[in-house]
Amino acid sequence: MESIEAALTYARNKREEHLADYKALLTIPSISTLPEHREDVLRTAQWLADHLKRFGMQQVKCIPTAGHPIVYGEWLKAPGKPVVLVYGHYDVQPVDPIEEWESEPFSAEVRGNYIYARGASDMKGQLLAQLKAMESLSTHGDFPVNVKYLLEGEEEIGSPHLSGFIETHKELLACDIVLNCDAGIHAPDGPSIVYALRGLAYFEVEVQGPAKDLHSGMFGGSIRNPIHVLCEVIAGMHDAEGRVTLPGFYNAVRPLDEEERRELARFPYSNQEWFNLTGASGLYGESGYSTLERVGARPTLEINGIWGGFTGTGAKTVLPARASAKLSMRLVADQKPESIRGMLQRYLEEHMPAGVQWSLQEHSHGPGAIMNRNSPYMKTALAALKATFGVDPIFRREGGSVPVVGIMQELLGVDSIMLGFALPDDGIHGPNERQYLPNFFKGIETYIRFMAGLASMQQ
């Protein structure tokens, strides 16, 4: 505990220097999707590698991939203590629409309590806060736990080389727990922790009726219209209770127990806020579940796009040859994307009528994930948040997908603790992205407490 206090004191005394380093990191435009920024991405990797070395990481290297490099580093001199793999990414999104930015995206301007820059929140701020926590801990003796770093430069383009890298570096990356810093809390003073993520299975269905577009007067009403067929099949995918009708769809879904529902209900939520966020004029979803349960704890099926026939201005009287839809399911833990594909296939086989041909194509998939809320790692994270923010953190399930969490579970067999300090209104991926600076510093303190806490947790 003495070393924790010392590290916290160091961190508090060094805020000016930490902010200066934060600004330095933000000024490198590491846009991974734009070839002209390839050198900037590389420079950022080197900047981080240097930083890791500075506070004592060993074996630090920028490992090339077919895309942008992965930064690795380790410190493994705490025998008997857990090995923590810190995951982060150092690449950022493009800055369009540039004209909507109030300051230059890579100038890292501080205005009031915020620092504005592309990557400030997603996720250089979270990543550097973790590094500064380690730097703070390094000033007073050995690290409390074993640490490895895995920092990628391709998260914003879908991590095309991450799975392959992990697959071929399983031993190098072996660990007890992942600290995933690419995360956030729900309000400036509202610490929360995401313990479940939804997976994804994304498909495209095409229905073919006649060989070519036909005159709807000459042939309308005598053969199947592929748009009708597609609409009927889609309409049948949900029942009157808002449940997905694919046979077996819910078989693997873990039911919510009362305790978890109470926990989820602690999250500050109002219908009005949901209306403001979405612009929708009403709520709808699976019967028997709250809005937050629907998006966090239940699998869903959405049609993401549909097209067929004449879609121009005015009127054209065609009976179209084809109609297509993109549809995706958000899956919860234990639902296997491969099984879902089979269920969809069977549903379509049973519901497509004679007189049309159809095809099913899979675009992508990834598993959902759920972490044990009662594990010692999770308890350590909660304790670190509470000690820093002074209030009890809230557990959250997130409706979106963070593929790396499922990949780590699958390939390394370990859970991830999602601990980061981005806020919902930080404007990530948009203009004027920002980070709330007080929470950059609270982040450093939370990471100090988390890393130190892991050394003394009850296994």
CB-nearer residue toward its own copies: 66 or 240: 240
Q: How far is the CB of 213 from its own copies (least distance, A)?
A: 9
Measured at the CA of 100, the angle between CA 96 and CA 104, to 5 degrees, comes to: 80
Q: How far is the CB of 428 from its own copies (least distance, A)?
A: 11
Q: How far is the CB of 246 from its own copies (least distance, A)?
A: 14
CB-nearer residue toward its own copies: 46 or 361: 361
Q: Is 423:184 a contact under the CB 8 Å cutoff?
A: yes
For residue 17, which phi and psi values (nearest 5 degrees)? -65, -40
Q: CA–CA distance from 259 to each of 323, 325, 348 (Å)?
A: 45, 39, 38
Q: Is 324 in a helix, a strand, or coil?
A: strand
Q: How far is the CB of 323 from its own copies (least distance, A)?
A: 7
Q: How far is the CB of 202 from its own copies (least distance, A)?
A: 4
CB-nearer residue toward its own copies: 366 or 453: 366
CB-nearer residue toward its own copies: 66 or 211: 211
Q: CA–CA distance from 417 to each of 74, 182, 199, 282 (Å)?
A: 19, 10, 17, 34
- Bridge partners (DSSP) of residue 393 are none
CB-nearer residue toward its own copies: 174 or 187: 187
Roughly how many angstroms between the first and final C-alpha of the chain, as a whole number? 18
What is the Cα 79 distance to its own chain's centre? 32
Q: How far is the CB of 353 from its own copies (least distance, A)?
A: 7
| Residue tagged 């509470």 (tokens) | 386
Strands 109-111 and 83-89 turn out to be: unpaired
Integer Cα distance of 203 and 326 in angstroms: 6
Integer Cα distance of 459 and 455 in angstroms: 10
CB-nearer residue toward its own copies: 115 or 323: 323
